[in-house]
Amino acid sequence: GENVEQHPSTLSVQEGDSAVIKCTYSDSASNYFPWYKQELGKRPQLIIDIRSNVGEKKDQRIAVTLNKTAKHFSLHITETQPEDSAVYFCAARSGGSYIPTFGRGTSLIVHP
Amino acid sequence: NAGVTQTPKFRILKIGQSMTLQCTQDMNHNYMYWYRQDPGMGLKLIYYSVGAGITDKGEVPNGYNVSRSTTEDFPLRLELAAPSQTSVYFCASTFSDRGGTEAFFGQGTRLTVV
């Protein structure tokens, strides 16, 4: 089955800095890569996703890049704000199974 | 649209007790999932269902059971609760699409087994 590794487990930045979270996956058949944000005590919610036919996608301060050859994808947050503080999960979904496999999560802390 | 509704939000069980976590979705999604979330361990798949009448085991199914009699409902049953089942449980659903669609999550159930 799919295996997703996510790094770092904790990321501490100053407000205004950029933050990068990286994930690798094992199944070359995976074709959908969503990122979820989970605020304390809340449910995970989708913030951005990318499909295997696209190398990069951007939405305001958030961007995701995908390298299919190396089987890794990354989340980039620019101009971080305190409200970006949360746990971020990457996931990979195989086109065959439709089951998303999640990374272990990254706790992002943005200091004012 | 209510999305995915999960109950209860909190529950304390004694060792050996049983309970059912309820999950219902009104988006007509065919895929539904149960995950457990332990600190620093991400979301681990317990069971999933690809449609009414069809269920299958995920990564950590031991101690749990599910059923899917309708498209909307996907309850998770804990028999003989153990302290190792203390966790936060999330139900989720997606529409099966070859290109991929987002998973919608319920609000979670925080379960403590004492």
> DSSP of B46-90, one letter per residue?
EEEEEETTEEEE-S--TTEEE--SSSSB--EEE-S--GGG-EEEE
Interchain contact A93–B (C-beta under 8 A): yes
Closest-CA residue of chain A to B48: A99
User: Which chain A residue shows the shortest CA-CA distance from B42?
Assistant: A104
| Interchain CB contact of A97 with B (< 8 Å) | no
Tokens 């409902």 belong to B73
Q: How far apart are alpha carbons B65 and B47 in whole angstroms?
A: 8
Q: Place B93 in a pLDDT band, splitting at 50, 70 and 90.
A: very high
pLDDT above 90 as % of chain A: 84
pLDDT for the residue B98: 67
CB within 8 Å: B50 and A51:
no
Q: Residues of chain B with pLDDT > 90: what percent? A: 87
Terminal CA-to-CA distance of chain A, rounded, Å? Answer: 41
Q: Kindly state whether B74 is in contact with chain A, defined as any CB-CB distance less than 8 angstroms.
A: no
Kindly report the average pLDDT of chain B as a whole number: 94
How far apart, in whole angstroms, are the C-alpha atoms of residue A89 and residue A104?
7
Do the bridges between strand B109-113 and strand B10-13 make them parallel or antiparallel, or are there none, so unpaired?
parallel
Among A40-49, A85-94, B33-42, B63-72, whose mean pLDDT is lowest?
Answer: B33-42
pLDDT at A67: 95
Q: Residue A40: helix, strand or coil by DSSP?
A: coil
pLDDT tens string B24-45: 999 999 999 999 999 877 899 9
Sign of the dihedral through C-alpha B100, A59, A69, A92: negative
Determine which of A6, A39, A49, A98 to mutate to test the interface with B (most B C-beta atoms within 10 Å).
A98
For A85-105, the pLDDT digits (tens) are 999 999 999 767 778 899 999
Residue B50's nearest CA partner among B110, B97, B109 is B97
